[in-house]
Amino acid sequence: MSSAPKPTELHIGSPKAFDGSYEKAIPRLNSILFYLAVNEEIYNTDAKKIAFTLSYMTEGPALTWATTFQHNAFVGSTIAMGTFTTFIANFKLCSNTMT
């Protein structure tokens, strides 16, 4: 009995780390969204997409935003991240306050 081949992540222009500057917010987000779309077999849940996106928020206001999001996601002993659509909408709303 053979199993289906495991999907392989395509490393095509991996997104760069995001520092939170307003000028880079949407271009960085677009880069991440494109990467996730190309690798939809790997990042096939909201949680995976959110975790991937957060992993690139590593400096400045973006790190603060990501840390706050992660802190708020903890509900008792579980993690409630919500949907990726809501995550992106909230990020876009907050991106204009990042400097």
Distance (Å, whole) CA 43 – CA 47: 9
Q: How many folded domains does the chain comprise?
A: 1
Residue 39 within a domain: yes
Residue 15 within a domain: no
The DSSP element (H or E) to which 42 belongs, if any, is none
What global pTM score does this model have? Answer: 0.86
Residue 70 within a domain: yes
Residue 3 within a domain: no
Of 28, 29, 30, 36, the residue nearest 12 (C-alpha): 36
Predicted confidence pLDDT, tens digits, the chain (99 residues)? 567 788 899 888 778 888 777 788 888 889 999 999 999 999 999 999 999 999 999 888 888 999 999 999 998 888 999 999 999 999 888 877 655
Residue 91 within a domain: yes
Query: Which residues are CB-contacts of 6 (< 8 A; sequence separation ≥ 6)?
Result: none
Residue 8 within a domain: no
| Residue 46 domain boundaries | 22-95
Query: Which residues are CB-contacts of 59 (< 8 A; sequence separation ≥ 6)?
Result: 17, 18, 19, 20
Residue 10 within a domain: no
